[in-house]
Amino acid sequence: MRTLAKMDWDDLQSLAPLEKAECFNLGSQPFHVLMAQQFTRPLLEELGMMATRIRQIAKSKTGMDFLRSLLSHRTAMLYFSQPSTRTFLSFHSACQILGMKTVEVRDISTSSEMKGETQEDSIRTFSSFADIIIMRSAVGGLAEKMAWVLSNTERPIPIISAGSGKDQHPTQALLDIYTLQHSFETRGGIDHKKVVFVGDLARGRTVRSLAFLLTRYQGVKQYFIAPPPLQIKDDILDLLRKARIEFEVGSDFEKVIPAADAIYMTRIQDEWDENKGDSGKIDISKFGFTAEHLKLLQPHAVIMHPLPRRQEIAIAVDRDPRAVYWRQVRNGMWIRVALLAAIFECFDAIREFHAA
């Protein structure tokens, strides 16, 4: 089994995504969390079941006291140099549930990066004070590069990517899968469902991660609905072809709504515009979910969104029980608790407490 330790950076970059993903795990469990390809279906199912056990344990004071004792000797560094609300608070809350102390940098203007320190040196510094680094950066590939750097030092602590450039957002995809697991637990699970992605698919890292994770399930058909400039990129479509996954690419949103088991709405990612205002020139008027669209949606279907939203889902839709995007937020905290518990090998203790 390949490991990052003693591996050259160029050798790591030469690996195919699935080969690279193996280097970030320790056996069947994650160590670094950088890409969706690290998660097998058994691991997805195990994380989902563990998140649910933890939720049940947390309902009592005795249970919360137990959870807070698990990692009370650990410290997490939250390095968010890119804006975040849900992901930051979700990870911060997850750390608190497990008793972890947290330190954070959310504004690089208060750090030595303003003195010219590189992000690489900043992260190397953070590893002196923490047992894990959870990081979000606008720089694509930075989390992966630092995972490699730290793995080749005397203090190889884990790194979790909370979003890295336009690459991937693996823990958002985990919470999306967990939400789908819950939504379809009485309807045969995720297998053979139809998932429709809508909006800015070219630059949405959540879509890139989830599209891959859905390949871990049998017979899931994926639809990509977007204006041409924002359509899904060929690298994701090539990945789906290699996995023999059925998909459709189009721009007629209303046509696919009746077939959908899940609709995954996304906002326009105009922070990635090469020139300010470029996204505003794209007509997105036909790519929003309105209250009228609820009449076309199957009774069992769900509407998802990684948030934040703008106008792509009407506020009136929030009251419909098929709108599960606020549930996604809550699910995100619990699946991240489960992920941290996996990294720090707490599963056996949690199973024993839950069974008692």
Q: 84-128 pLDDT, tens per residue?
A: 888 999 999 999 999 999 999 876 666 677 677 787 888 888 899
Confidence at residue 272, expressed as pLDDT on a 0 to 100 scale? 63
Q: Where are the beta strands (DSSP E) in 138-296?
A: 159-164, 194-198, 221-225, 247-250, 262-265
User: Which candidate in 20, 169, 203, 336 is catalytic?
Assistant: 169
**Regarding beta strands 221-225 and 262-265, do their DSSP bridges make them parallel or antiparallel, or are they unpaired?**
unpaired
Q: How far apart are CA 150 and CA 140, in angstroms?
A: 17
The percent of the chain in helix, strand and coil, each rounded to the nearest 5, is: 45, 15, 40
User: Which candidate in 20, 52, 87, 92 is catalytic?
Assistant: 87
In Å, how far are 19, 23, 46, 267, 329 from 249, measured between CA atoms? 28, 33, 32, 18, 28
**Number of residues that make up the chain:** 356
87 in active site: yes
In Å, how far are 10, 115, 273, 295 from 33, measured between CA atoms? 20, 30, 27, 40
Confidence at residue 273, expressed as pLDDT on a 0 to 100 scale? 63
User: Which candidate in 55, 74, 86, 322 is catalytic?
Assistant: 86
Confidence at residue 344, expressed as pLDDT on a 0 to 100 scale? 97
Burial per residue of 18-42, b for 16 or more beta-carbon CB atoms within 10 angstroms, e otherwise: eebbebbbeeebbbbbbbbbbbeee
115 in active site: yes
Q: Which domains does the chain have, with CATH numbers?
A: 9-168+331-348 (3.40.50.1370), 170-328 (3.40.50.1370)
289 beta partners: 313
136 in active site: yes
Number of H helices, E strands in the chain: 13, 11
* Whether 186 contacts 177, CB under 8 Å: no
Confidence at residue 1, expressed as pLDDT on a 0 to 100 scale? 66
305 in active site: no
Confidence at residue 166, expressed as pLDDT on a 0 to 100 scale? 67
User: Which candidate in 59, 61, 115, 244 is catalytic?
Assistant: 115
86 in active site: yes
User: Which candidate in 32, 136, 145, 267 is catalytic?
Assistant: 136
Confidence at residue 101, expressed as pLDDT on a 0 to 100 scale? 97
Q: Is 241 exposed, middle or buried (0-12, 13-18, 19+ CB in 10 A)?
A: exposed
- Given a cut of 70, the residues of the chain with pLDDT beneath it are 1, 107-111, 114, 166, 272-273
Q: What is the DSSP letter of 188?
A: T
pTM over 0.85: yes
Q: How far apart are CA 288 and CA 310, in angstroms?
A: 10
Q: How far apart are CA 14 and CA 19, in angstroms?
A: 10
Confidence at residue 203, expressed as pLDDT on a 0 to 100 scale? 83
**Regarding beta strands 75-80 and 132-137, do their DSSP bridges make them parallel or antiparallel, or are they unpaired?**
parallel
* Cα–Cα nearest to 239, from 260, 210, 200, 203: 210
Confidence at residue 47, expressed as pLDDT on a 0 to 100 scale? 97
